[in-house]
A and B are shown apart, each in its own frame.
Chain A
Amino acid sequence: MAETTTHVAEPTRRDFLYIATGAAAVVGGATLVWPFVQSLAPDAATVAAGAPVEVDLTPIAEGQIVKVFWRGKLIFIRHRTAEEIKAAEDVNVASLRDPQADSARVKPGKAQWLIVYGNCTHLGCVPLGQQGEYHGWFCPCHGSIFDTSGRVRGGPAPINLPIPPYTFASDTKIVIGQEATA
């Protein structure tokens, strides 16, 4: 085995070393990319700041819309009047662009509280409350119309205002960012 002259077709120890070294370089290089890509993800402080937030509902008067932020995203908390709830419930669901019953957009027994993300689903503008044909929201940017359930009823928005994860901690307090653990 001391002789290093071999047939060309025979793989040598040197061939093995070449391939092993090359493979180690490729795998090592690819592995090194991982921490750099991961560093772009939301960091620990941002994640911590994105923890669930508590909102006290007592000061929100009937008919009022309050804006809060969770994870830097705008959220509307709307204390709906009986009239607004009725208007939202009396809609023929099948006629909607993004069909969803009002009962599916609020917590059972809490129909007066509508909690939705506050950015238009078209291009992210902030719609104005109590305006538009259905007195829900009206987006001044491109004319999207939402009803008192936050469902799209006209304009370019493709879907309803989404519902953030939240749960009622008590009758007058919600926790946004946390689903009920049933």
Chain B
Amino acid sequence: MSDHPTTYVPKSAFGKWFESRLPIAGLVHSSFIAFPVPRNLTYFWTFGAILAFMLVAQIVTGVFLAMYYTPNAGMAFQSVEHIMRDVNYGWLIRYLHANGASMFFVAVYVHIFRNFYYGSYKAPREVLYILGVIIFLLMMATAFMGYVLPWGQMSFWGATVITNLFSAIPLVGETIVSYLWGGYSVGNPTLNRFFSLHYLLPFMIAGVVILHIWALHVPGQNNPTGIPIKSGKDAVPFTPYATIKDIFAVVVFMIFFAYWVFYMPNYLGHADNYIPANPAVTPSHIVPEWYFLPFYAILRAIPDKLGGVIAMGSAIVIWVFMPWLDTSKVRSTAYRPLYKQFFWIFVVVCFVLGWLGSRPAEGWYVIASQICTAYYFAHFLIILPVLGFVERPLPLPNSILESVMGVQKGGAGIPAGANAEPHSKG
């Protein structure tokens, strides 16, 4: 945005009059039409657009649900059933919203791991990346509070277990928890404030998303080679190339989304949540939604209550330090043969942690969780810093164009690292 002096010239007299008073058309033109996009982007780079679509979809379906939902402990469950049975297309709007949360997390995990693989977090995109971590934390809070609103058994007991995590904080823990609850246990005041915050947070996410996009448009997008745009031949204009590709990817993603909504709308939920909340009986097995499972496994891997809470929080906070923990000058894992193997081990460990989080915390599951948790942190604290020094990267292409079209004339790839110094696109 700020980095690209607009070449936009309004054609009509009204356009000129308006642009001289609010240059918004020029901003849109330089950001989303003329903006130079690396010509070698893959479909992994469409997940930003998919996420933007999902945020809008969640806000729209949520606003309509809020017209019928009642945030009261005595009426919430009934009001959700009312939406399902009596409201015209209420079942569709609710299933879109509930499954939409899962789809949002599917997309964000692809987006995050694309960033890990291609080193998008490295200079000069650290701030862009940290804003992304903040968005992810806000998403987690929003999803958790949304899951509490139907006031079923899993809502109630999930809220009890998660809010009780704060009681692990020494000295002030119990006070903090009673301020979260607005009472002495999870109850009506808790439901009311969770509804209020569940409505607020998506708009805070939208605000941080604007900063995220702004920060993206300063250095421009990373790409599969990790080397910056050096000449006009390395790039294509955002419109039509990226626009159409993004729209196509969103449509394909919507087909995937629709499959869940229309064929297995309750598969990702828990049957227990169709039982009204009952503080006298717990479900036999309390598990969070699938997208929290790896973190839940880390929480339970530590035998100490406070230690578990600290480990779970650190598992995400450690992401913030990744630009400095990764000492390699090469961004893209495509040119890092050793790191490529460790990256895929890390992916497998994350999946295993997720699976372990869905298992009961007993027997060898606990030991496996502890091993995976140790590896998770070792990946960031040992493997990332050490690899940058011991790994010998593959030669990088001279330019994005060369990586796509092959070497044009003379000269093989230049030595590794020579192209990797951070600087803006040309």
Contact = CB atoms under 8 A, between A and B. Distances in A.
Given A72-B187, A125-B286, A142-B361, A42 B178 contact: yes
The interface size bin for chain B is 20 to 34
Contact of A46 (B164, B183, B361): B183
Interface string B360-377: 111000000000000000
B74 to A, nearest CB: 14
Interface string A81-110: 000000000000000000000000000000
B42 interface: no
A18 interface: no
Given A72-B185, A140-B284, A143-B362, A40 B164 contact: no
Interface in A28-69: 37, 40-43, 46, 50, 67, 69
Contacts of A169: none
B281 A42 contact: no
Interface of A is mostly: loop
Contacts of A141: 282, 284-286
A74 interface: yes
Contact of B184 (A37, A67, A71, A142): A71
A126 B180 CA distance: 22
Contacts of B184: 42, 46, 50, 71-73
A72 B279 contact: yes
Contact of A158 (B157, B193, B305): B305
B182 interface: yes
B183 A71 contact: yes
Interface string A110-142: 000000001000011110000000000000111
A126 B362 contact: no
B197 to A, nearest CB: 11
Contact of B179 (A37, A142, A156): A37
Given A74-B279, A126-B282, A40 B185 contact: no
Nearest to A38: B179
Interface string A138-181: 00111100000000000010100000000000000000000000
B161 A142 contact: no
Interface of A: 37, 40-43, 46, 50, 67, 69, 71-74, 118, 123-126, 140-143, 156, 158
8 contacts: A37-B179, A42-B189, A43-B182, A72-B184, A74-B279, A124-B164, A142-B362, A158-B305
